[in-house]
Amino acid sequence: MRLITNKLALLLVLVVSCIAKETAQKTFSSKSRSEEENIFEQNTNSELLWAPYRSNCYFGIRPRYIDETPFIFGLMWFDTTEFDAMTRLRHFVSDDDHMERFTWEAYDPRLGGKENIIDPENNLNLTIYFAKTHDDSNWVVRVSGKPLDTARNTTTSVVMYMNQNIGPDMQNGQSRLIHISNTDNNENENSLEFTGMSEDLGKYEVLINDNHGKYYTNDTLESIEVVPGCNASRTSHVGLTIPDHEVWRARDVFQSLLTDSIKDIVQVTGEKVEPGLVPSILTLRNLHNFDQGNFHYVQKTFDMREETGFEFDIVYNNLDSKETIDSGKQATLLIDDALHEVNVRFDNHFNIDETDGDKRKFAMEVLANLLGGIGYFHGTQVIDRETVLDEDQFESIKFEHFREEGPYSLFTSVPSRGFFPRGFYWDEGFHLLQIMEYDFDLAFQIAFSWFRLIDEDGWVAREVILGPEARSKVPQEFTIQSPQIANPPTLLLALSEMLTKLIENENNMAFVAGNKMDIEEEEGITSQLGSNFDYIIKYSKIIYPYLERHFKWFTETQKGLIEEYMEDMEDDEKFAKVNQNFVYKWLGRTVTHCLPSGLDDYPRAQPPDVAELNVDTLAWVGTMSRSMKDIAHILELTKDETKYAEIEKKIVENLDLLHRSEKAKTYCDVTLDDEGDEEMKYVCHEGYISLLPFALKLMPRDSPKLIDILTLMSDPDKLFSPFGLRSLSKQDEHYGEGENYWRGKIWLNINYLCLNALEYYFPEVLTGSHEKSALNDKHTSELAGKLYTELRNNLINNVYGNWEKTNYIYENYDPTDGHGTGSVQFAGWTALIVNILRG
């Protein structure tokens, strides 16, 4: 049975038990580790070993944490009835492919799932199933395709490729992948069998078997074998050797080999080719007489003139497993079981009323696509540790002193498989706010993977782009990372949210020293993980230094200059109370952009000044302080808890003392007035930056300024819209101008934080009772309740409505008519709509 837990009290256990894979082995002997810990690690590593972790591919499999000799699998396809077919060869997810749909309908990396792709240009409705055996050692991929229109007389040529990486020690390595035969007892020439050996994975076999489907034929021709080996009526196989670091170029290599074959055919047969032979001409053959290596292409070309289409299975069996998959019927049972269990798990966590339209299907697909974007990346990172930012010019910096460092590994979800298939520090905390509601263990496996990237100085890259495959999807100017550039520390936001709940429930938690926790059991799922408070304490001490270093790095590199204001502001009574050591700015902003803030083109002070201080940087440091305070509390580090509590207190004070404009009644950046006597002036652009002190729960619960925040959010002429809160006030001079990325568009991440903050400050909004509460007067409570209800409904209706019309969720939404904009299938923080829908 698969191990799942979702108790809040397990939070730190989940994080640190992951860390035990490396760090704890150095700190504690195996004899000192509890039986429960060993069970947890073994189950987690097994359950999460195999999945479609190649997020950038429409479908691609690799194992997690197998870095030297992984087995790699990928899928491509195209319609081969026309000579220009290779321009429609699908492999990496791309918005330019104009897919009508590419969607995980149900998915859990522990279990498996179902992905549906509708490709109009290739006349294909493709469904891919993935399921694992209960011991998690073996898996099956079922590829099922049907034509969208049988009258178009198309084919579907599916190209599979697989490689057993040799590893860096190519001389002594024993890893191999060998094609045994094309037959199953000489009965089916289209069934293939491979045997493999990996130093990390052991011995295994790969079987490829058809379930049904008609291969391409043409009754008007005597033969469709245009030259020996080029015959679309049977499965084609070519084995060769490709260096491990070039396997990701499988599409390019395939196109190159096929081009060579076509040129040879033209020389042999002449340029005039019978149209009925085109599918055979576009069938790969071993033209160059390659010796069989570890890399293999398998190509199947099906006639799509019948509605039944085709279906075949790819089975991976570890030969040491007792649960090998040996038949199509057995594969069907595994797939059905996995899909059933995914549905049960979803309903256990998200009880969504199906009577309200098709909201359950919508929510399940959105969550599935977030989970389906989880990838495992391994490789080098390009870093420039020498170039110093010129803070006076505010021009774009050219990082020219870079080098590759690593290799590193990252287990992460991605914002968008088609446009952003890599790790984003800014996005990941929001992803975890969603994932942890479904699977705590999984969420903190991901969190740990990020924590372990924190270097000795405390820095972690804002974009983690590991290896050439990940870099191939990134514009060159964004591949180089600088240790001077920060990003909003949303991982600590997620950690802070969970620690806050843990502390609030501390007296009610079902554990005491020496006693195991009660672990929730779900249908078909039993957890074997138990723990006690001492266990949590022990491993919390392991994670704590990572976070300390990161806090120190962030607050030192992003520290602002207060000295510039001192002379002209010394007589200002309010300014005199400012905590001068706790002021911050984003290092690395330019005249037009502040990429470190995550709110790229959100309007800032013009012209920029070295003395600029940013309210959002300060607010994020407040979140970090709160998180550090909470974990210090868990560890009973009283001195540290007091230290971070004092920092948090000073930051909260500075939000009002330094960044609150009483005239504008909002929070603003500040800078020097270059037109007057260089006194401090507020730079007020009402929008998401103004809301962050509220959204991050840094305002006191009894603050009289809460009413100003509610008024701003509720104003339809400023932030409130029928589709969600605008990122910038409709009345701002920069609204909708320029790049128009964070200048009015509606983003789910900040909208989610605002809804969550409304629940925090006005808990009565969840009960519907708006009588005078302990914290707020009746008028304020009623305003909060109305805002909460309308904002929640607007967000749900708009994201759901776009999905109904287009099959997709989007990066952001237009504030005028609500249509989706930016990257399609942006199942990153937009997936927070599932949390919002559940309420």
Nearest of 154, 831, 108, 739 to residue 442 by alpha carbon: 108
Boundary of a domain, candidates 317, 350, 383 = 350
Q: What is the CATH number of the domain that holds 398?
A: 1.50.10.10
User: For residue 235, what are the domain limits?
Assistant: 56-350
Question: In the block, which residue shows the tokens 């590991």?
Answer: 466
Residue 815's SS3 state is: coil
Could you list the beta-strand ranges (E) of 528-598.
none
Same domain, 158 and 299: yes
* Alpha carbon distance 83, 356 (integer Å): 48
In a domain, 677, yes or no: no
* Alpha carbon distance 198, 167 (integer Å): 9
In a domain, 199, yes or no: yes
Phi/psi at 525 (nearest 5 deg)? -135, 125
Nearest of 836, 770, 762 to residue 798 by alpha carbon: 836
Phi/psi at 473 (nearest 5 deg)? -100, 10
| Contact in structure between 166 and 196 (CB atoms under 8 Å) | no
463: β partners = 424
Same domain, 32 and 156: no
Same domain, 234 and 333: yes
Q: Note the pLDDT of residue 36.
A: 54
With vertex at residue 59, the alpha carbon angle to CA 367 and CA 213, rounded to the nearest 5 degrees, is 115
Same domain, 439 and 402: yes
| Contact in structure between 693 and 615 (CB atoms under 8 Å) | yes
Same domain, 382 and 449: yes
**Interacting residues of 433 by C-beta distance below 8 A, sequence separation 6+:** 493, 494, 497, 752, 832, 835
| Contact in structure between 413 and 371 (CB atoms under 8 Å) | yes
* Alpha carbon distance 635, 744 (integer Å): 43
Boundary of a domain, candidates 493, 519, 536 = 536
* Alpha carbon distance 572, 682 (integer Å): 15
| Contact in structure between 584 and 669 (CB atoms under 8 Å) | no
Helical spans, DSSP H, in 373-415? none
Query: H or E stretch including 824?
Result: strand 820-824
Same domain, 494 and 405: yes
Distances, alpha carbon 458 to alpha carbons 345, 454, 557, 655, 657, in Å: 37, 5, 10, 25, 29
Same domain, 326 and 185: yes
In a domain, 248, yes or no: yes
Question: In the block, which residue shows the tokens 């994975």?
Answer: 201
* Alpha carbon distance 461, 425 (integer Å): 7
Q: What is the dihedral of CA 483, 487, 490, 491, to 10 degrees?
A: -10
As a whole number of angstroms, the longest Cα–Cα distance in the chain is 98
| Contact in structure between 354 and 360 (CB atoms under 8 Å) | yes
In a domain, 603, yes or no: no
In a domain, 833, yes or no: no
With vertex at residue 346, the alpha carbon angle to CA 343 and CA 348, rounded to the nearest 5 degrees, is 110
Boundary of a domain, candidates 505, 520, 536 = 536
Q: Note the pLDDT of residue 524.
A: 31
Same domain, 180 and 281: yes
- How long is the chain? 839
Q: What is the CATH number of the domain that holds 210?
A: 2.70.98.110
Distances, alpha carbon 738 to alpha carbons 216, 602, 606, 733, 750, in Å: 52, 10, 15, 11, 21
Residue type, 489: P
Q: At what angle do helices 359-372 and 328-349 cross, to 10 degrees?
A: 110
Nearest of 123, 119, 179, 136 to residue 48 by alpha carbon: 136
Residue 310's Cα: distance from chain center in Å?
32
Same domain, 60 and 40: no
Nearest of 611, 509, 490, 492 to residue 561 by alpha carbon: 611
Q: Which residues does the chain have with pLDDT short of 70?
A: 1-43, 169-173, 182-187, 354-357, 500-539, 676-678, 770-775, 839
Same domain, 415 and 305: no
DSSP 3-state percent helix, strand, coil across the chain (nearest 5)? 40, 20, 40
Distances, alpha carbon 434 to alpha carbons 712, 723, 727, 741, in Å: 27, 21, 21, 24
* Alpha carbon distance 103, 368 (integer Å): 8
* Alpha carbon distance 75, 156 (integer Å): 13
| Contact in structure between 588 and 485 (CB atoms under 8 Å) | yes
| Contact in structure between 120 and 98 (CB atoms under 8 Å) | yes
Nearest of 81, 153, 85, 156 to residue 126 by alpha carbon: 156
Same domain, 34 and 73: no
DSSP string covering 528-544:
-----HHHHHHHHHHHH
Residue 707's Cα: distance from chain center in Å?
36
| Contact in structure between 246 and 166 (CB atoms under 8 Å) | no
Q: Per-residue b/e over 175-203, b at no fewer than 16 CB within 10 Å?
A: bbbebeebeeeeeeebbbbbebbbbebee
Q: How is residue 147 written in tokens? A: 């034509």
In a domain, 566, yes or no: no
Distances, alpha carbon 5 to alpha carbons 44, 543, 556, in Å: 11, 20, 38
Positions annotated as catalytic residues are 600, 811
In a domain, 672, yes or no: no
In a domain, 412, yes or no: yes
Domain total for the chain?
A: 2
* Alpha carbon distance 392, 379 (integer Å): 35
| Contact in structure between 209 and 191 (CB atoms under 8 Å) | yes
* Alpha carbon distance 233, 603 (integer Å): 61
Same domain, 38 and 124: no
